[in-house]
């Protein structure tokens, strides 16, 4: 029974660490750009897009598809960086173990 109590305490401690990590990640940001910096996206470590900045030179009414592609590329890159940040931070807590359902 003692072993089960120790295991439960460890699980509760890890759960608390993960909750703290999620809060910390939401405060951290990553940045990605496309088109040589014409479109810049900032995302939080919680994978929320925080801001999108579009250089005026990227706005060409006759080529809207290019702007859409630049925005899409920058958003996808920012979210990829946010996932990598999450995995890196989570790895520090779990000791590199892959726990299903976490991030």
pLDDT in tens, 8-63: 888 788 888 888 888 888 899 999 999 999 999 999 999 999 999 999 999 999 99
Dihedral (CA of 18, 21, 26, 32) sign: negative
**Would you place residue 1 in the very low, low, confident or very high pLDDT band (cuts 50, 70, 90)?**
low
* DSSP symbol at 52: E
Whole-structure pTM value: 0.77
d(CA 3, CA 10) in angstroms, rounded, equals 11
Residue 48: the pLDDT is 94
Residue 90: the pLDDT is 83
- The DSSP element (H or E) to which 54 belongs, if any, is strand 49-54
**Number of helical (H) and strand (E) elements in the chain, helices listed first:** 2, 3
Residue 70: the pLDDT is 97
Residue 55: the pLDDT is 97
Residue 9: the pLDDT is 86
**Distant-in-sequence, close-in-space partners of 52: CB < 8 Å, separation ≥ 6:** 39, 40, 41, 42, 71, 74, 75
């Amino acid at each position: 029974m003692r072993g089960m109590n120790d295991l439960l305490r460890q699980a509760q401690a890890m759960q608390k660490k993960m909750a703290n990590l999620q809060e910390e990640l939401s405060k951290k940001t990553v940045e990605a750009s496309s088109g040589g910096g014409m479109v810049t996206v900032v995302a939080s470590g919680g994978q929320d897009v925080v801001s999108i900045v579009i250089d005026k030179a990227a706005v060409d009414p006759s080529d809207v598809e290019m702007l859409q592609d630049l925005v899409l590329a920058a958003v996808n890159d920012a979210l990829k960086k946010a996932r990598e940040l999450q995995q890196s931070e989570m790895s520090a807590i779990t000791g590199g173990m892959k726990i299903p359902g976490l991030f």
